[in-house]
Every structure is written in structure tokens, then in C-alpha cells.
Chains A and B, each alone.
Chain A
Amino acid sequence: MLQRWRVTGWNGDARTDMTAEEGRQIIRALFPTLFSSSFEITSPPTKRYNCIAWAAGEEHVWWWPGGRYWPDGVPKAESIEAFTQAYAKLGYVPCETPELEANSEKVALYVGADGRVLHAARQLPDGSWTSKLGEAWDIRHELDGLAGDNYGRVARILKRPAGRTEG
């Protein structure tokens, strides 16, 4: 049986619904690397939060420097240093590798060609990664699955001790 969602997000009309397979095809069209790597849609679309918030464990606000929620004392810039400082408020520090480590939680920051941060993903306990795609879905994916024209490349990995919820 096809799973159908009421899509009240990017296409604006609650009467419109979309099958999970249609969602998967749209995601693959946006991120062609996902044609060759596995991914799974794990939530309906919503505008309540974005990838930065989702990676930080937040589901109620849209994090972004300038006009949206942004931690106090962190520069309102789209630089990787500013985002690193934002996650430092939650206890994250830069690390070398995205590999799964016992008792650690990791976040990956993606940057575009101009050096501006475009996306963040959070590592799950099984080593896969979870991302919120803008106003659209949460997905579980491989780290490089979202690399490309839209989200750029993974430029920094952050980690903190597992189980920590605030800085």
C-alpha cells in the first residue's frame, strides 16, 4: 500500500498529497548521488525546523543567522566558523573523521563553492546520517549522498559526547 502524506509544505495546499515514491523521485532529482546510494524518507515535510535545527536536535524553530533563531553570542554569518561556534554552544567540537565512534554524536557541515554553509546532517547511532531537506522531508542517508550542486560538499565534522543535550 502506498503511503500518502498531506503536503502542507512547499507546494502550499493541504489537499495535495504525494506518495512516498514520488517524494523519493523528487529527492533523487535534486540529489543525483542518491541514485547510487541508499536513502529513506523518515518524516513528512514541515517548515517548523530546518537542517541546522534538526542536526542540533531541535524540531520547533528554523535556525539560520539573521532574522531566524540563532544562538546568542554567535556571529550572524554563513561561514563555517560561525556555524561551528553555534554548534559549540551545544558541546560540539571539530573532529577529523565522520566514522562512527562509540559514545560520540557527530554533525557534518556542508558548504558551497563560495564557502557558505548550506546544510548540516547528524549521525545516527547505526552510522548512517539524518538530514532535513529545507522545508521538505527528513531523510536517512549516506554522508556523501547529498553532496553536489545543491548542498556542496562536506567541509567539517563536529562531535560531542553522546547523550549530551545542551552546551
Chain B
Amino acid sequence: MNAITASSRFVHNREIAPPPTWGQQVPFVLSGRQSVMMSDASRVIARQERRIFNSYQVVTSFRLPLECEFLQRALRWKAETFFHSSISKKTQHPDYQRIIGMGPAVVPLIFHWLKHEPDFWFDALVAITGEQPIPPQHAGDVAAMARDWLEWGRSHGYDC
């Protein structure tokens, strides 16, 4: 029987994939290279995505790897749903659902995001925490909804 060691590439006589490299773990690290097949519009979007990544100040304080996965999924969710009004389109996006599935560990990250930018994290927070601190009169006021959640976070010991 083959022992499983860091350098082993065989388990039970079957070849296994090598340990992931940094590039595989963080596939959203963006290079300046662009596919020659990209249209002008796609190139503009790609440039905007790079700007999102490069400029988002939250990234500087995130730790790996949970934070990286959160940020990768959150930015992709944002880029693919920002033009939708439909809340269900936003909240049923696979990355949004995965972030909900990441559980309480991402709550501080969501609060960090909300602190910098009111955004549509309310349904995720409700799903993860089971709480609903938004009063009915604030429904639809995105800034007020974000403030309500940040206040709830502070009252429950989160640094936000």
C-alpha cells in the first residue's frame, strides 16, 4: 500500500493530482495578458474586472484562503448580477449561494464589505444568522438596510 506523503503521486497504485499550486488556488490572480479571441466589449469588461480586483481596498486586509474564496466569489457574483434588479437573480446566483454555504465564518467578511459599500448581502446574512434586524420601514433603502445590519453586528460583537 502506498503511504500518502506530501511528495507521493500514487495512492493505491493510482496516480493522483499533485498538490495545487498557488495559481490553482487563486485562479483569479489576473495577468495583463488577454486572449486574442476577446471582443472589444469583452476586453473592456475584463479590464473592469481587473480594476475591481486591483482597487478593492478590502483585499489588502483579507487572509487566505477563506477570505480569498469569499472575495473571488463575491466579485464574480457582483460582476454577473450588477445589472439585475431582481433580488432572486442576485441571491440565487451560484456564488452567492456558495457564500451562504460557507456559514458564520464569512459574516465578518460580509460586514467588512458592507462597511465599505452598502450591498445586497442582506439575504445572505439572514440565511446565515437567522436574524432579521431590518425594520419594515427600511425595506428597499439599501443604505439604511446596511446600517441596520452593521448595528446588529456591533451589538453582537463583530468589529464592523
Contact = CB atoms under 8 A, between A and B. Distances in A.
Interface residues of B, number: 37
Given A26-B48, A63-B140, A132 B85 contact: yes
B88 A12 contact: no
Interface of B is mostly: helix
Contact of B48 (A11, A30, A68, A135): A11
B73 to A, nearest CB: 14
A68 B140 CA distance: 4
Contact of B85 (A9, A15, A52): A52
A10 B87 contact: no
B86 interface: yes
Interface of A is mostly: loop
B44 to A, nearest CB: 4
A85 B90 CA distance: 23
A50 interface: yes
Question: Which of A12, A117, A135, A136 neighbours the largest number of chain B CB atoms within 10 Å of its CB?
Answer: A12
B35 interface: no
B41 A66 contact: no
A25 interface: yes
B142 A134 contact: no
Interface in A15-59: 15-16, 18, 22, 25-26, 28-30, 47-48, 50-53
A160 interface: no
A48 B45 CA distance: 23
Give me the 3 closest cross-chain CB pairs, A-B, nearest first: A69-B140, A10-B82, A29-B41
